[in-house]
Structure 1
Amino acid sequence: MKTKNFFKILTLAVIVLFQSCSDDEEIAVSGLCPLVTSTIPTNGALNVPFDQVISVTFNKQMRTSTITNESFTIEGLSPIEGTITFEDDASGTTVKFTPSNNLSEDTTYTGRIKTTVKDQEGNALQVAYVWSFTTGITIRPIVLATDPIDEATGVPLNKVITATFSEAMNPLSITNATFSLMNGTTAVPVTFDYFGALVTFTPTVNLLPNTTYTAIIASGVQNLSGVTMASDYEWTFTTGAIVAPFVVFTDPLNNATNVSLNKVIRATFSEVMNPTTINNSTFTLMNGTTLVPVSFSFTGAMVSFTPTSALLENTTYTATITTGAQNPTGNGLTANYVWSFTTIGSAAGIPDIGSLDDIASFGGNAGVTNQGINTVIINGGIATTAASTLVTGFHDGLTGAIYTETPLNVGLVSGGIYTAPPTPGNATTFAIAQQALLDANALYIALSPAAMPGGIDPGAGELGGLTLAPGVYKSNSGTFNISNGNLTLDAQGDPNAVWVFQTASGLTVGIAGPTGAKSVNLINGASASNVFWQVGSTAIINSAGGGVMVGTIVTNSGVTLSTAGNTVQTVLNGRAISLVASVTMVNTTINVPN
């Protein structure tokens, strides 16, 4: 009987224990009372996202009516508002607090669960649960660079302003409200363009000379995530004075004679011009009082004027470029530029060289190489249908582009460099090179024995020491040499005298040794523009350096002017044209004849 009573008393004690929670922590942990088992974010968490949903997980199901904005609070610098929801899981033990607004950056928040929360049996949390966490710092976009830079001077009047940000920006946030260009208190209208993190601002009118402008990017600009800059970005720059363009040189030169009847007239300016201002009003070509119609084309700073019909023989023409010719900023020449030239007396027997008229060297599809520090191409350009990387040791006198120059390989090309891409080669320069190749092939055929038969070989292949009248000369052995002395070409008073030399294999000028250089001399009115060499393989011109070679050399397989290590200048008054191989020169001067 006593045993039964003991078990009844024990059972009643257990029931009472489970019906009310104890303040004893061990009893609470045993599962009788509710406890917070985890939180998101955890206590002490750092760099918490601004849109964080805060959650608390209990050890048992809770009575939802006891969990409210009074019993579950989040407080930063002040209490924040939010919505409380309960996770729909099997246990129903997780409650979430969703802030009404994003959390503030770099702020420590304190979460608190009060003892008024209860479980399903009505047992209360015995001790308030308190924890804290800290949000991260917003990574805001910044301006890394501008063009012009801050306090820049001498800025061109047609300057396109750019700003490079630390990341790609939202184009919709780049507007006249967030970017302004000011001349004092006057806003300058601009248009916008976007290239990832680069934004361009193009004034709709030219800037004023000698004027300080202020550019402002407002903090309202946003990245792709909607984050703004921390503050406005402001910089200033000052424009330069008006610089008028001028004519650097012309082809033909002023007072040139024996100009070919199919001559393309060219003028190279000090800068790229506005094509719309180069027209029949600003350029005229006159035969006395008769206007000669021309068409226009543009290559960088060079403008070509092509007569629509052949020029007349033995006629003086006057070309004029007026002050109406302007650069892109609207500045014109300060005075009319006028020059004259006279055509040849007769075109008979002179081969048509087409676009090669302005090409000093053509390197087929293999390139053009300079290996000296003093190579100069005067009044002409170089070209190849190869990539621009196969032109080495030169810089373009028209554009300033550099083609693999080193301190030991420096060459100036006054008339432009024309190649296939990559940059600085482009579609325009490649088209010019392709036309040069077509004209080179046509000239090679026009100079061949099939087209010009009857050539003689007065020196059995050796031209040195001879004086030759105009005519066609063909090597019987397949090679021509100029090694026993200089070659003299005597026009006998005829300025239109033509010499054509044909060799099925090679052409060699000069011999080894410091005094081995040989030259071609012109007398009695002979012109370098009327001397042609058709070479079946390779031409080697004064490999020891020095000498003066004359004429347009057209080879199948390459031209070499001097060799590496020679410092004495080698001169070619003519052109070095190769159909399928490269042209190499060392300390060479090439003068392109008119």
Structure 2
Amino acid sequence: MKLIKTMPILAMMFIMLMVSCKDKDNNDDDPTPTEDVAPTVLSTLPENNEMNIARNHNVVITFSEEMDPSTINNSTFTVEQGTADISGDVEYSGVEATFTPTEAFDASTEYTATISTEAKSQKGMNFEENYEWNFTTGGSEASIEGIDLGASGNYVILAKTAINNSGTSALTGDLALSPAATSYITGLALTDNTGYATSAQVTGQVFASDMADPTPMNLTTAVENMMTAYNNAAGRSETDFLELGAGNIGGKTLTSGVYKWTNTVTIPNDVTISGSSTDVWIFQIAEDLTMSSATNIILTGGAQAKNIYWQVAGHATLGTTSHFEGIILSMTGITFQTGASINGRALAQTAVVLDGNAVTQPAE
């Protein structure tokens, strides 16, 4: 009787032993969990075959694991245009390597980036094969077309709501205000004439929407043209330089092209704009433009103020005794602090505020 009762127990123990042996046999076929594998690429910036890349874009590669930093350098991480090597600096941190070109990439050009098999992981494992990817820059190889100012280009200052002056300014060129009336032009001691006014501070004429015909119609057209020019500048999509200097362009030399920022742009130090007399610069600024006191924009190589366009969605402020070059197209206001000067135009969709400034229209 005891033998009969113990038989089920023995059967169960036999089954458990068989299962254990089978699991052991299966585990013998599994690869060791500590086996080393070659590193791989998780992602790249730009992505493979990505188009319209800004010419100042860095090239970034993200690895599947930490790499041996001594093997991530200009020999193992390269960028080429055709068969020509591109000069740049390589930095490695965490699981990312960044290639920063010494000079901006060419416009509308395809480039090839490569991480070679000489790159090793921290475990000493090499890439199994070279990893390559391509990207193409944006911008235009041809000359950039300037902005048509239309009738707004007849004025050195054009505003919609007010032109306010303090101190004694020296304004060379015509001034205009519309749809606001003459009373919103202050601090210039105007002398009324038929269809225009004059001022001892203005080498030119002053116009407002409530003056005699044909001034009101002329100013309506000028304001419409100013807004069209603003939209033209803001709408240029062939971006050459994106977020240059994270918005701080002090100390930089700017070659011709379309520049775009999604934030505020500051000029804390002198800036050089370098190019020929036919080169064009378009600066698209999504927020404010602020220039520090006693700083200058310097033109070299024949660059001309009439070909430099600053499209500013926010407020443009030129600091005390600063000097500015180019045409400001502001959706908001333009403020010249004490003694600031400009060789260009101030075209604002609200007010222009002056304080003892020299404002001179650019040579044509």
Residue 455 of structure 1, CA deviation: 4.0
In structure 2, the residue matched to 1:487 is 271
1:550 and 2:319 correspond: no
User: How many residues end up aligned between the 2 structures?
Assistant: 221
**Residue identity opposite 1:357 in structure 2:** G
Aligned to 2:7: none
Contact 1:375 1:587 in 2 (8 A): yes
Alpha-carbon distance, 1:583 to partner: 0.6
Q: Which has the larger radius of gyration?
A: 1
Where 2:180 maps in the other structure, the secondary structure is strand
Aligned to 2:286: 504
- Give the structure 2 partner of residue 414 of structure 1: 203
Q: CA RMSD in A?
A: 2.4
| Closer, same or farther: CA 452–557 of 1 in aligned 2, 3 Å | farther
**Partner AA of 2:287 in structure 1:** S
- Using the alignment, how far apart are the partners of 1:505 and 1:536 within structure 2? 5
Counterpart in the other structure of 2:11: none
Matched-pair contact (CA < 8 Å) for 1:420–1:429: yes
* Structure 2: gaps spanning 5 or more residues: 1-141
**1:450 Cα deviation after fit:** 4.9
Percent same amino acid among aligned pairs? 24
**Residue 155 (structure 2) aligns with:** 359
Residues 460, 397 of structure 1: alpha-carbon distance in 2 compared, 3 angstrom cutoff: farther
CA apart distance, 1:349: 1.2
Where do residues 127-526 of structure 1 align in structure 2 (5 Å cutoff)?
349-364=145-160, 366-372=161-167, 374-395=168-189, 399=193, 412-421=201-210, 425-451=211-237, 453-476=239-262, 478-483=263-268, 485-491=269-275, 494-510=276-292, 516-526=293-303
Change in CA separation of 1:398 and 1:469 when aligned onto 2, cut-off 3 Å:
farther
Higher-helix-fraction structure: 2
CA distance in 2, matches of 1:348, 1:397: 42
Partners in 2 of 1:347 and 1:435 — Cα distance? 29
Match of 1:529 in 2: 306
SS of 1:459 mapped into structure 2? helix
Could you tell me which residue of structure 1 aligns to residue 342 of structure 2? 572
Change (3 A) 1:370 1:461: same
Post-superposition Cα deviations, 1:80-129, rounded to whole Å, max 9, x if no partner, equal: xxxxxxxxxxxxxxxxxxxxxxxxxxxxxxxxxxxxxxxxxxxxxxxxxx
Return the letter of the residue paired with 1:390.
Y
Deviation of the 1:413 alpha carbon: 2.3
- In structure 2, C-alpha distance between the alignment counterparts of 1:397 and 1:453, rounded to whole Å: 46
Sort the Cα spacing of 1:469 and 1:556 in 2 relative to 1 into closer, same or farther, 3 A: same
Letter in 2 for 1:381: L
Alignment of 1:11-50 (within 5 A): none
Corresponding residue SS for 2:345:
strand
Distance 1:398 1:389, change over 3 A: closer
Q: How far does residue 518 in structure 1 lie from its aligned partner after superposition?
A: 1.2
The 1:432–1:399 alpha-carbon spacing in structure 2 relative to 1, beyond 3 Å, is same
Equivalent position amino acid for 2:163 in 1 = V
Q: TM-score, normalised by structure 2?
A: 0.56
Write the deviation string for residues 176-197 of structure 1: whole angstroms up to 9, x where unpaired: xxxxxxxxxxxxxxxxxxxxxx
Q: What amino acid does structure 1 have at the position aligned with 2:259?
A: Y
The 2-side partners of 1:451 and 1:517 are apart by 33
TM-score, normalisation: structure 1: 0.35
Describe the SS at the equivalent of 1:350: coil
The answer for the alignment partner of 1:588 in structure 2 is 357
C-alpha deviation, 1:380, in angstroms: 3.2
Mapped contact 2:291–2:322 kept (Cα < 8 A) = no
Structure 1, unmatched stretches of 5+, are 1-345, 404-409, 511-515
